[in-house]
Amino acid sequence: MTRSRLRRSATVAAVLSVLAAALGALALAAAPSSTTGGASAVTTSSATVSGTVVPGGVATTYTVEYGTTTAYSTATDPVSAGAGTEPVPVTVDLAGLTAGTTYHYRLVATNADGTTGGADRTFTTTAPPVTAPTATTGSAS
């Protein structure tokens, strides 16, 4: 092989190496995934909801959207799920809920590559306790 061909081969190999490294880095980054889990510790005014977030190799945050319809109307403040590639279990406490009401909720994860909402789930807050009426009979006169 001539020196000219050797230099071109080395240059092509170097370019391919840089491209492979760049493509490898891109393959690691992905939109996050989120799975909405169940609700627990449901009371007349609060509940704890859970789920799983997979950040996709990029700094990712998650929120819980909730409300009385699938329009949700309320979201929790964003919380970091990190930048890993493994599933991250999460729990979020919801407060200030109305007693005896069905709420829709879902876990939503966001990073630079996109936003993914988990499936819609529901729970119903407990109804307030019912107090039986009392009566007092007075004496006859």
Tokens of 90: 């999460």
Give pLDDT, residue 13: 53
Place of tokens 């992905």: 30
At 78-110, the pLDDT tens digits run 999 999 999 999 999 999 999 999 999 999 999
Of 94, 122, 111, 120, nearest in space to 33 by CA? 111
Whole-angstrom Cα distance, residue 46 to residue 64? 14
40 and 48 in contact (C-beta within 8 Å)? yes
Indicate the pLDDT class of residue 2, thresholds 50, 70 and 90.
low
Please list the alpha-helical segments (H only) found in the chain: 3-28
